[in-house]
Structure 1
């Protein structure tokens, strides 16, 4: 009994698949019969021959069938039915293009009155980034001579969604919503001669980029480039500091005289640096990539450079929260990063390099043009 229950869905699936194959074979026979009628000049019979299969054709079969109907209606001097058939052809294959070597001139002339170019497209993407702080003004807590500072790159991540508005086949405007984690390391050495400090800052940003793109509109691989502007808002900022205190080894409570030293490390708690930041930022964007056509959709790889325009380190919040109550415990605790761990931020902007992979779906819209593009066809007729 259990075996029967397991086999029943498989048998039903096999039965449905065989019916579908048989149905497609029958529809292929129907198209071939309609083509024979067309070649024999029996144009009036073609709609009735194709009618039983019009709702059952595959997309490829629908394209062939509606192209045949378009040709027949044009020969029967029925422009309304010809236009309706050509629109149905574009719904089956929005990227169908007529060819002077394959199609009659009246079909080519009619095709210039229609387009299926998408007005809108939507996309999703994700990827990684590296952040490069760009120092405007260098600051430190004790202003020690000989202190050396450096910013090191670390990898972050981002994900986003967006939409394109297509002005033409080559020019689009894109608006996105991107959530990103950016991180960097601030390394300081020679504090008090041999001490060092390491800060790792992790920031979460919500950004709204607006870009204007120009790219290729033909072929499987379609390169593009763009310029744009982005408004950004800092959602979260967490940092950790590690102090390395290089000091002489103590012997019996006193510094040893044998020159031995030890490296004592102290890890900070996780600091919330949100009140030390200017949370709104703006950036100029430049980038490019390649779209790879997969059926009617695209996958793409995108490389973007984002140049920050504003200082994100709050001057008033350099040492503590400027809005906190001076006699509260929080006011004292908030100074721990500067007082205990010897850290105050430089004034700096943030630049980013982002590499993203994504999926793009054009929303094709077959439609009749208000202004037909028949000029090139008329020139061919005059030759």
Structure 2
């Protein structure tokens, strides 16, 4: 009980001490801003260069809030500018940009500060995006094949036997803004896609179900155009919602493909043996493919500086080439004659929905012409 009491006392003492320090730091910043309004620029600079001053200890000691830190570095930038110390003004401005990545100047800021900002690249050098989504497979049959089948095959029907062909994917992209809302992105994606086929054999009371699941490693390259990228609202703030459209392509590398829950029902039941499930070992599927990609989405600015994004996206992937290796279509007798299923020539297309998060990476630096 005594230990808990001592711990509580120490906690409240430290909290009170921090509150007092924070209050003192707020006063020191207010005094520095008052000195600027009164034109006492040398006083501000002398206070900053004095490591024992409360203003400097608060700034270097991390006591200032982020907002106070931004105000302090902006104040120092202007003080050095008006003292014609360009080197120190640039140093303070870089520290300001580290605290506020894309700091927006206000109409009240002096022209000298606008000129200084123009010397620096304030846009991100790179953005890193991660996305996770669900996809629905949409097989597009090029040519039908069968052994004993009666009628057409049914792909991804909802019901007791077949499902909807739902899969999942995860993606990591590196993105770069080029100009006027146009961006390029490339990276890597891991996708699980599946489709399910139901067919009738000889008579309608004898049928089969074949579920094909594939794991792919994909390498997308995308071009995106974002609306509102550089636009501001009537109050001068950057617009928070950025709708976009994109197109691109992907090189798709097959990692694994297999049958899952593949069986014949009605009459004499038959279940596919485990050793017949692997389609990659028997080279029944194409080892690689190329897809074209298109979609639309929206990004929403998040965070205090609103330089990162939460996003939602709808995407369509269209494979260009046959998912099946036609030379080895008939190699699996357990599937062809035991189940009664033969894979059609088809392209494996997907419609997907995803959510993601984009992190902006910055290195404040002067433009080449000013170096």
TM-score normalised per structure 1:
0.82
Is 1:269 the counterpart of 2:273 in the alignment?
A: yes
Deviation at 1:184, TM superposition (A): 1.1
Q: What is the match of residue 379 of structure 1? A: none
| Root-mean-square deviation (Å) | 2.1
Is 1:137 the counterpart of 2:158 in the alignment?
A: no
Is 1:94 the counterpart of 2:117 in the alignment?
A: no
Counterparts of 2:183 and 2:9, CA distance in 1? 50
Larger Rg: 1
TM-score normalised per structure 2:
0.84
Equivalence map 1:40-55=2 (5 Å)? 40-49=38-47, 50-55=55-60
How big is each residue's C-alpha offset from its partner over 1:68-88, in whole Å with a ceiling of 9 and x where there is no partner? 112222222222222222221
How big is each residue's C-alpha offset from its partner over 1:179-211, in whole Å with a ceiling of 9 and x where there is no partner? 111111112135345432221111111111111
How big is each residue's C-alpha offset from its partner over 1:227-272, in whole Å with a ceiling of 9 and x where there is no partner? 11101112122213232336xxxxxxxxxxxxxxxxx644333522
Q: Secondary structure at the match of 2:102?
A: coil
Equivalence map 1:115-134=2 (5 Å)? 115-134=121-140
Counterparts of 1:190 and 1:343, CA distance in 2? 9
Deviation at 1:116, TM superposition (A): 2.0
Q: What is the match of residue 232 of structure 2? A: none
How big is each residue's C-alpha offset from its partner over 1:70-114, in whole Å with a ceiling of 9 and x where there is no partner? 2222222222222222221111111211122x2122222222222
Is 1:79 the counterpart of 2:77 in the alignment?
A: no
Equivalence map 1:308-323=2 (5 Å)? 308-320=319-331
Taking structure 1 as reference, are residues 265 and 369 closer, same or farther at Cα in structure 2, changes over 3 Å only? same
Counterparts of 1:90 and 1:12, CA distance in 2? 37
Q: What is the match of residue 325 of structure 1? A: none
Q: What is the match of residue 294 of structure 1? A: 302
**In the alignment, is the contact (CA less than 8 A) between 1:99 and 1:108 conserved in 2?**
no
Counterparts of 1:305 and 1:113, CA distance in 2? 42
Counterparts of 1:265 and 1:241, CA distance in 2? 11
> Would you say how many aligned residue pairs link Structure 1 and Structure 2?
337
Equivalence map 1:169-184=2 (5 Å)? 170-184=181-195
Counterparts of 1:147 and 1:139, CA distance in 2? 12
Is 1:241 the counterpart of 2:245 in the alignment?
A: no
Taking structure 1 as reference, are residues 131 and 293 closer, same or farther at Cα in structure 2, changes over 3 Å only? same
**In the alignment, is the contact (CA less than 8 A) between 1:148 and 1:190 conserved in 2?**
no
- Structure 1 residues 171-180 or 278-287, which shifts more? 171-180
Deviation at 1:363, TM superposition (A): 0.4
Aligned partner (choices 90, 104, 127) of residue 110 of structure 2: 104
Taking structure 1 as reference, are residues 317 and 15 closer, same or farther at Cα in structure 2, changes over 3 Å only? farther
Q: What is the match of residue 334 of structure 2? A: 336
Counterparts of 1:237 and 1:11, CA distance in 2? 63
Counterparts of 1:9 and 1:266, CA distance in 2? 69
**In the alignment, is the contact (CA less than 8 A) between 2:142 and 2:346 conserved in 1?**
yes
